[in-house]
Every structure is written in C-alpha cells, then in structure tokens.
C-alpha cells in the first residue's frame, strides 16, 4: 500500500510505532522497521548518550529506516536533537510540546520532522514551521494526551493542513487502520499493541495487564496539573486521583510518580507502577511478533478498504 507517508519515509507499510518512554528501545524499533513499518526509539527522558547507544544498537539489527521520538518536556531535548543529527537519523517525531526551535537544524540536515499534535491549531502551526507530516493523536491514546477523540480530530486535521496526516489513538487492528484511512489518514501510529509485541522488552506483568484489560479499564490522571496521562487503573492511579481530589500540589504528585513508569516496564510492578496504555488495550489479546501483528493488520485492512 502506497501513500505519501510510505513514499516520504521509504517504508512498505504505513504503520509507525509510538515513541513510548522506556518501551520504545532498540529491539522493538528494529523489529517494527524490519517488518516494514517505521520503528521509533523513544528518547523520553534518557540522557543523550544513551539515545546514541540505542540508535547504534538498532542499526546493528536493521538496515531499514529508524526514527527517534524527542519528548520536548525533557530538558535534555537539545542534546538529544544533536545526537540524532550526528547519528544520521532521517526521521524524528516529537511529543508533548512545540518542536519549532529545532525545525531549522533538522530541515537543513534533511531530517523529516513529524510532530505529534492533539489539535488542528497545533497541526497548522507545525505545517507553517515546515513539518513534513503530523501525527494527529486522539485522547484514546496512552500516556500524555489531549482532549479530542481520534474520530473527531483526524478528519479536522486532514481538512486543516496539506501535509499528510498519521492517525493515532485507539488503533489496534485492521479495522482501526481502515477507519483511520476513511478519515483521511495516510498512515497510523500504534503504541499499546506494540507494548505486548514479542520483541518488546516490557515486563511480562505489564504485558499481562494489557492483555487482560477490558474496554473501560484505563483512566486519566493529572487533569489538575495540565498533564493528563492515560494508564490502566491500578493502586497507583487510584492513589494519584485521590491526592488530586484532595488538592495536592504538583510537587507531591510528581514525587508519587517519580520513576513509576520505569517500575512498571522494567520491574513489572503493576501495583505501584504507572501502566501507561490506550483505551484499545481491551482489544489486545495476545503477544505476537511485530511482523505477525503488522501482516495481520495489513491483510485485514486490505480486505476492508478493497
């Protein structure tokens, strides 16, 4: 299947992997790229030199294109951007902020820049700044989210910009892929389904929580701080919401969640860890290789899209 995104990125399948903190490391990114999509290394809050190592390790596993996601709330973002340029990465996605300050350097180096946006206004601003495409991410997504749903956001972003749009949030199978294309998207980005990939290094306890999750098992914390985060409901999310209700300050809330995603991903602590996942977790039923997942999604979507 050819779209402006497959052409832009030189990939076979219009499927991009989300730049998930702790999860999107070199094994997962390389597996998604090897299977024909675009694998992404999530720089999150890692030191720039760790990101450099991750890029190099991914390149040992695949010759296909690999991207890096830069999390803009990270104070290290400028150093990460420099490493990305030095290591010859050709695709960058950005999250949780405005990448305008990095656009000039990336464009000059021929890096394709794909900001993740949660509104039409942000998509238009990114197009004016020179973005090559945008990921329109609905509130169904896991992690840090905006408020519009994928169903409403994607067609409005498609109408608002000329650059190609990648749909994200609530997409986990061929039906979701096909639906996104009906809304005008030219690729999809998936996160939650890839968390349970065989190649994903996520602890089995976390994978099991996603596989066992039902449709309404995620909830959003952090509304009061302006940083809403979707995750699977557990003791941690309940405690966070209780503190928020009592009017706890940012400092206390941040103290509670410090290192909590790491705890979930690396230690499998599904009680005190933050189990970031999207609403589509209820649809994710088994661990498969990235190739199995992606071949299945493309076959199902091809049938639906005719």
Q: Which residues of the shown chain bind ligand TUI in the complex (CB under 6 A)?
A: 21, 71, 95-98, 116-118, 122, 137, 143-146, 227, 229
Nearer to ligand TUI, 143 or 164 (CB): 143
DSSP string, 235-259: HHHHHHHHHHHTT--HHHHHHHHTT
Q: How far is the CB of 125 from ligand TUI (least distance, A)?
A: 8
304 three-class SS? helix
- What's the closest the beta carbon of residue 139 comes to ligand TUI, in angstroms? 9
Neighbours of 100 (CB within 10 A): 16
Please, which residue, 58 or 229, has the CB nearer to ligand TUI? 229
Minimum CB distance to ligand TUI smaller for 3 or for 225: 225
The runs of H, that is alpha helices, within the chain are 4-9, 26-34, 48-61, 77-86, 100-108, 120-129, 150-160, 174-182, 192-195, 204-212, 235-245, 250-257, 260-262, 290-305
* Cβ-based nearer residue to ligand TUI, 43 or 178: 43
- Smallest gap, in angstroms, from Cβ of residue 101 to ligand TUI? 11
Nearer CB in complex with ligand TUI: 137/217: 137
CB of 21 to ligand TUI, least distance (A): 5
Least distance in Å: CB of 174 to ligand TUI?
Answer: 24
Contact 33, 66 (CB under 8 A): yes
Distance between CA atoms of 206 and 263, rounded to whole angstroms?
Answer: 10
Q: H or E segment at 137?
A: strand 134-137
Smallest separation, CB 143 to ligand TUI (Å): 2
Tokens of 254: 């941040």
Give the residue closest to ligand TUI by C-beta: 143
Using an 8 Å Cβ cutoff, are 103 and 21 in contact? no
Q: Nearer Cβ to ligand TUI, position 36 or 146?
A: 146
Q: Tell me the H-state helices in 62-199.
A: 77-86, 100-108, 120-129, 150-160, 174-182, 192-195
CA distance 155 to 181: 10
Residues 6+ positions from 7 with CB-CB distance below 8 Å: none
Q: Which is nearer to ligand TUI, 32 or 253 (CB)?
A: 253
> What is the closest distance, in whole angstroms, from the C-beta atom of residue 93 to ligand TUI in the complex?
8
Minimum distance of ligand TUI from residue 68's CB (angstroms): 14
The structure tokens 């030219």 sit at 186
What does the alpha-carbon distance between residue 123 and residue 116 come to, in Å, rounded to a whole number?
8
CB of 272 or CB of 289, closer to ligand TUI: 272
Contact between residue 42 and residue 23 where contact means Cβ atoms under 8 Å apart: yes
């Amino acid at each position: 299947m050819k779209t402006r995104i497959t052409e832009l990125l030189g990939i076979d399948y219009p499927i991009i992997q989300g730049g998930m903190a702790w999860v999107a490391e070199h094994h997962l990114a390389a597996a998604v790229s090897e299977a024909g999509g675009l694998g992404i290394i999530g720089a999150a809050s890692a030191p720039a030199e760790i990101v450099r190592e991750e890029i190099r390790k991914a390149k040992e596993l695949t010759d296909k294109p690999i991207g890096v996601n830069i999390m803009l709330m990270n104070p290290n973002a400028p150093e990460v951007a420099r490493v990305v340029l030095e290591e010859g990465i050709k695709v960058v996605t950005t999250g949780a902020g405005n990448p305008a300050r990095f656009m000039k350097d990336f464009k000059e180096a021929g890096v394709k820049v794909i900001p993740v946006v949660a509104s039409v206004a942000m998509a238009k601003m990114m197009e004016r700044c020179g973005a090559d495409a945008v990921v329109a991410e609905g509130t169904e997504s896991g992690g840090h989210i905006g408020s519009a749903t994928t169903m409403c956001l994607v067609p409005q972003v498609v109408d608002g910009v000329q650059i190609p749009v990648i749909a994200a949030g609530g997409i986990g199978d061929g039906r979701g892929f096909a639906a996104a294309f009906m809304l005008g998207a030219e690729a999809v980005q998936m996160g939650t389904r890839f968390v349970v990939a065989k190649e994903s290094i996520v602890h089995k306890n976390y994978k099991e929580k996603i596989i066992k999750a039902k449709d309404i098992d995620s909830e959003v914390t952090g509304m009061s701080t302006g940083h809403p985060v979707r995750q699977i409901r557990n003791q941690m999310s309940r405690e966070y919401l209780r503190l928020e209700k009592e009017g706890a300050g940012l400092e206390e809330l941040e103290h509670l969640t410090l290192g909590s995603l790491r705890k979930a991903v690396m230690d499998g602590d599904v009680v005190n860890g933050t189990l970031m996942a999207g609403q589509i977790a209820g649809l994710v039923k088994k661990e498969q290789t990235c190739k199995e997942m992606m071949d299945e999604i493309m076959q199902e979507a091809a049938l639906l899209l005719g």
